[in-house]
Amino acid sequence: MNLAEWLSWQETQHAKPIDLGLERTRPLLRRLSLDHPSHAIITVAGTNGKGSSVALLEAILHGAGYRVGAYTSPHLLRYNERIRILGEEADDAQLCASFERINEARGDISLTYFEFATLAAFDIFQRARLDVAILEVGLGGRLDTVNLLDADVALISAIGIDHVEWLGADRESIGREKAGIFRAESPAVCGDGDPPRSIMAHAEAVGAPLYCAGRDFGYQTQADTWSWWGQTRNGSVQYKALPYPNLRGVFQLRNAAAVLMALVQLAERCPISHADICRGLSTVNLPGRFQVIPGAITRIFDVAHNPHGAEVLAEALREHPCQGRTLAVFGMLADKDSVGVLRAMQGVVDSWYMAGLPVARAATGEFLAGQLLAIQQDAAVMVYPTISAAYAQALSEARPQDRVVMFGSFYTVAEALQQSL
């Protein structure tokens, strides 16, 4: 089978598309001899900021000369984006060969699409003789397939409300699930400035030394640079005169600060220099996270898909005002908190262009428009059959100095980005 055939087949192999738990995949880890990797592992969990944190870690470690692998999900344009080695996407042949090995080993074990992907990442990374692998949790932490492997350093980014049907309806419950990636005597870093108590409690319960933003590390901004400080068991560490990350939004400094704390914890195994940090911050790239395509009409692509992500997007839009109007192309999945997202964007968007997404879980454009009008009766909103149609109409109605913002889902951004390439 080619890659497209493998992926289509995987989508049909398990009764539920999301089925959290490690009982199916743990035996396969042993059968494939993947349970004791020789490389270091950084596991990244969180509601928002995971992708940025992985990209920052990858850029700094790669810039320092280490053999780095990164596993992320979902992808924007190509499945291959999920597994990267030395900054390069895994090719179709690597993925297909790995899927074949997994399929032969699984016997009668049924696997989800995500479980196939995660095991393939483990397999490909093992064969690549890495120094360090950076693993992004797909959903939660405790029961996510990524958590099969013990993290040498665990990093939790910002905590918000999302995936309530699997993780719980409050930050304490969600924090407890995400803290499931902690391991005894292995350092854990939390970049959330107001972490749920459950994170601290779980760290203490398992014996993981926990480093929290604002308490154990932090940063200060200057006009053109920023400085970072951290307090470890071995004393204090400082980095001064750092360039701002090549990712837009002041919130990226919060992600970068937590990333530096994680790297300090890994320093005995993978030491980095001030120059390595500067190089990584200056070169990091992450499509779909406040990604700006400049022009007479500015286009902004952001995968914000929950209220906290929308709050961060709104904050970034206010930080970077335009002289014209802000037009929003918007589509979301039905199982997301679209009301919370729309409330977070109040006062930022002048006109809305809504549409459904090409997946079964999508909310319709009519439904999203109704939710917006219930919040803001005078909202300027139109509904279109597809994101592509909504995007084309927004661009046709935009005037010079306006900006068009695409957000609400990875699917929204992917469809709009494909029209822009």
Q: Give the 3-state secondary structure of 180-245.
A: HHCCCCCCEEECCCCCCHHHHHHHHHHCCCEEEECCCEEEEECCCCEEEEEEECCEEEEEEEECCC
Share of the chain above pLDDT 70, in %: 98
pLDDT in tens, 1-23: 999 999 999 999 887 888 788 99
pLDDT at 93: 98
pLDDT in tens, 350-394: 999 999 999 888 999 999 999 999 999 999 999 999 999 999 999
Cβ-based neighbours of 283, under 8 Å, separated by 6 or more = 59, 63, 246
What is the three-class DSSP state of 11? coil
pLDDT in tens, 30-78: 999 999 999 999 999 998 899 999 999 999 999 999 999 999 999 999 9
Q: Looking at residues 89-116, what average pLDDT do you find?
A: 96
Q: Which is nearest to 413 in space by CA: 313, 297, 283?
A: 313
Bond prior to 74 in cis (omega within 30° of 0): yes
Model pTM score:
0.93
pLDDT at 16: 81
CA distances to 64, 210, 252, 286 from 276, in Å: 5, 25, 18, 19
pLDDT at 8: 95
pLDDT at 140: 86
Q: What value does the CA radius of gyration of the chain take, rounded to a whole number of Å? A: 21
